[in-house]
A and B are shown apart, each in its own frame.
Chain A
Amino acid sequence: MRISHSIAPALLLLAAGAAQAASVWGFDDGSVSVVAKKSGDTIKEKLSQKTPLLKPVSLGSTDTLKLSLTAKDNGKGKRPHQAFLLLQEQDSGLEAPFPLTVKESGKAAVQLSHKDLPIQLLVAAKPLKASVVLASFGSAQGLSTPVFEVKIETDANVPSPAYEKPLRYGKKPEIHHIFRPDPKNPPKVISLFFALGVVATLPALLIGWISLGGNLSHLSKAIGTAPLSHATFLGSIVAMEFVFFMYYTSWNLFKTLPIIAAVAAVTVLSGTKALGEVQSRRLAGER
């Protein structure tokens, strides 16, 4: 078979000479038809190898597209080895071949419907570009020409086929972590207003006490009776508040606790004396 392939064109060449050397493949009687299964309607368009059809042919989900032509080598009907209908997705350039069944006379035909198409072509947004390729062994120049476009119509009632792109190694989209929002404060004016309101309760309290007759008249008497214990007792109460203040600002618990213990001991020891003096004043009817 191989020999015949290589010899036949060679013989042709010898026989026909230079004219045959420029032999080219082409086709005649080209037509594309779409048969709707439901209605049985047929839309048929003539094809020419010179100019592609202007309007795309639409192919519904139940329709069948039929392409038929007669392949010719220099005007004579002949069977080419390669007779393909190529459908190309225009965005990616992806192409699927559909071989035509060719008879000895060069009559060729192919039928295709949605189920014959690879999924990548089915989900194409743009019309598919259809080209016819006719070529064979030997010196005859092949034909590869766009002939028409096919618009794939998907049925609205049928869910469109899902296509997931295969994994390819490459850079991935960037991710930037979205941080939680920082805690928010009310306007400073409001905080300041309420802080001042709280501070204002202290003078209000003192004024209240004074208006009810509060005074410090016995201070000199108490200091006179028990000067040391009163000074240390009142001092230890102030010192305790100071310890708490230091704990709030800088000290840790382990530094604070022993100092609290020491201050508390002073409070208890001086307190017995100081409060004893207070009691003696009460017993004397002076409170």
Chain B
Amino acid sequence: MRSLFSLFLFLFAAVVSAISASGNRLLVILEDVAEKTNYSKFLGDLESRGFQISFEVPKSESLALFHLGERSYDHIILFPTKAKGLGPNLTPNILVDFMNAQGNILVALTSDLPTPTSLVSLLAELDIQLPADRTGLVVDHFHYDALSSPDMHDVLLLPPPSATTRPDVKDFFGAGAGRDDDIIAFARGVGAVLGSSELLTPVLRAPRTAYSYNPKEQSEVVDDLFAAGEQLALVSAFQARNSARFTLVGSAEMLQDKWFDAEVSKVGEKKAVKTFNREFAKRVSGWTFNEIGVLRVNWIEHHLDEAGATNESNPKIYRIKNDVKYTISLSEYSWTTWNPFTLPGDDALQLEFSMLSPFHRLPLTLDAAHSSDSASAYSVSFRLPDQHGIFNFLVNYKRPFLSNVEEKNTVSVRHMAHNEWPRSFVISGAWPWIAGLGVTVAGWLAFCALWMYSAPVGGKRESKKTQ
């Protein structure tokens, strides 16, 4: 039954996700469709990964994100545009609706053009703050590209992101990249400040000496500092509770052809190095458009784990203090295939057994016997609490960059039936009472016999009484 079900799921998933785990209709919004030549390698990479790209300009009449209440596109890329707003078809409201319908958005900004108000409002909705006046430029006088911006210092050279700050988070963006050889060039970009929301994660932070200023007003003196150092997020990721993804890339230029294969040179180093931008852009767009970091629950099974008990799957009811085993099978989508999901080093997949609040929160361990080439099973055995009621097996696995897993299976836990307790003769404290019962019974029988068959001792006294 289980294998049939997972086979069905697998076939279903295979049909839906040829390239991305959630569809391949991609909308690209540009100031001018001719501008797409600047991004030809980035867009060509996307096309070669199977996306069907449509190009539109923001003010286009025919542009509609929804048709008859359904999404017309699965993903959107918004490149910088000149206009103050984005027109009636791309209001912040519509973009939020698009995300609520599980659409993914990638926004690229540039410091050359003020950010459209529509996007500023959308970002404010997601707790991302942009510099005042919608204009900002990130510079770093210590980590700039000596070849292309020896004076303005507005092309930042950054090492690829690493997982050192949080070892329990999977490293999707910098994995496999050498910290010295692979350099990301961040050219003329806008830095953002992220709110404290748990849904937001910075992908690429600015170095500690970087800062953001307004090139129009603060070219002499930075009188009002927006943000500096690692508080500036250059590339940031947002994943909504429905796993819709939103990525803000501060520099649209870093996605352009000229930075994909450009050679850059760090300050004080003679050697020119090729940038890591192409691979980084692939990973950022791949994450945004559900090509990596997508989790799928294949099946969930729980059963009584006691000797001699029937091994029925997913019963509706258990008894208190029963030993049970819970197993969940997870797959992770990685570019083209569903792979077994492996936990990042320091992380734990946890099962909560909860009624209002958790009674148990236990780590699940890999169950090789039920794993396969495309799925890994995690299981845990435990004893149900000594409290009856309606309980949930809850796996609430929410992690940065991984799509949310929230699986709740409700079961009843009944109390002990009267014949499931130990018998009274097993309980040593009951022995005097059981002995009392036996003595009463024996005494009663002896009394009956004595009363019926006892002959009088003094016959005379008895006869007197009867007279």
Contacts and interface: CB of A to CB of B under 8 A. Distances in A.
Interface of B is mostly: mixed
Interface residues of B, number: 77
B362 interface: yes
Nearest to B208: A95
B435 interface: yes
Interface stretch (A35-43, A49-57, A147-155, A176-184): A176-184
Interface residues on A, range: 35 or more
A135 interface: yes
Interface in B189-225: 196-198, 208-209, 211, 213, 215, 219-223, 225
A82 B154 CA distance: 13
Interface stretch (B21-29, B43-51, B284-292, B454-462): B454-462
A135 B209 CA distance: 9
A230 B448 CA distance: 12
A191 B445 contact: no
Nearest to B448: A237
Contacts of A188: 428
A205 to B, nearest CB: 6
A166 B198 contact: yes
A109 to B, nearest CB: 14
B152 interface: yes
A15 interface: no
A126 interface: no
Contacts of A84: 211, 225, 228
Contacts of A198: 432, 435-436, 439
Interface in B266-315: 267
Given A169-B399, A171-B168, A137 B229 contact: no
B97 interface: no
A128 interface: no
A218 B457 CA distance: 12
Interface in B423-467: 427-432, 434-436, 438-439, 441-446, 448-450, 452-457, 459, 462-463, 466
Given A102-B221, A216-B449, A171 B456 contact: no
Contact of B386 (A179, A241, A282): A179
A171 B457 contact: no
Given A95-B229, A179-B385, A217-B455, A169 B198 contact: yes
Contact of A81 (B222, B227, B363, B446): B222
Contacts of A285: 459, 462-463, 466
A215 B152 contact: no
B142 to A, nearest CB: 5
A194 interface: yes
Contact of B152 (A6, A133, A213, A241): A6
A258 interface: no
A257 interface: no
A232 interface: no
Given A5-B151, A177-B385, A195-B434, A209 B450 contact: yes
A5 B215 CA distance: 11
Interface in A95-113: 95, 97, 99, 101-102
B175 interface: no
A285 B150 CA distance: 137
Contacts of A194: 431-432
B430 to A, nearest CB: 8
Interface stretch (A26-34, A58-66, A68-76, A138-146): A138-146
14 contacts: A2-B215, A10-B151, A133-B209, A144-B209, A175-B360, A176-B362, A180-B386, A192-B428, A195-B434, A198-B436, A215-B457, A285-B463, A286-B462, A287-B462
Interface of B: 139, 141-142, 150-153, 166, 168, 196-198, 208-209, 211, 213, 215, 219-223, 225, 227-231, 267, 321, 347-348, 350, 352-353, 358-363, 383, 385-386, 398-400, 427-432, 434-436, 438-439, 441-446, 448-450, 452-457, 459, 462-463, 466
Given A169-B198, A201-B439, 4 more contacts: A82-B209, A198-B435, A215-B454, A219-B449
